[in-house]
Amino acid sequence: MRRGYLYISVISAIAIYGCTKPFSPPGVATNANILVVEGLINTNDSTIIKLSRTVIVANKTTANPETKAIITIENAQATVGTLTETVKGTYVIPNLKLDNTKQYRLRVKTSNGKTYLSDLVDAKVAPPIDSIGFTATGSGLQIYANAHDATNNTRYYKYSYSEAWQFHAQIDAGFTGDGIDVTSRTPSQDFYTCFGSDSSANTVLNSTQTLSNDIVYQFPIVEVASTSEKMETKYSILVSQQALTKDAYAFWTNLQKNTEQLGSIFDAQPSLAPSNIHNINDASEPVIGFISAGTTQKKRIFITRAQLPQGWQVTYPNGCGLDSAYYSTPTLPHTNTVVQFGLIVIGSWVVNRFGDYGGGWMFTTRQCADCTLRGTKTQPAFWK
Domain ranges of the chain: 26-168+195-307, 318-370
Maximum mean pLDDT: which of 3-17, 79-93, 250-264: 79-93
Position 218 pLDDT exceeds 80? yes
Please state the rounded mean pLDDT for residues 374-384: 96
Please state the rounded mean pLDDT for residues 172-196: 81
| Dist. CA 20–CA 168, nearest whole Å | 50
Measured CA distances, 159 to 109, 116, 209, 219, 250 (Å): 29, 26, 17, 10, 15
Q: Give 27's pLDDT tier (boundaries 50, 70, 90).
A: very low
Position 2 pLDDT exceeds 50? no
Position 307 pLDDT exceeds 80? yes
Secondary structure (H, E, C), 231-296: HCCEEEEEEEEEECCHHHHHHHHHHHHHHHCCCCCCCCCCCCCCCCEEECCECCCCEECCCEEECE
pLDDT recorded at residue 250: 95
pLDDT recorded at residue 362: 76
DSSP strands (E only) in 33-139: 35-42, 47-53, 70-74, 79-82, 84-87, 90-93, 103-109, 115-118, 121-124, 129-136
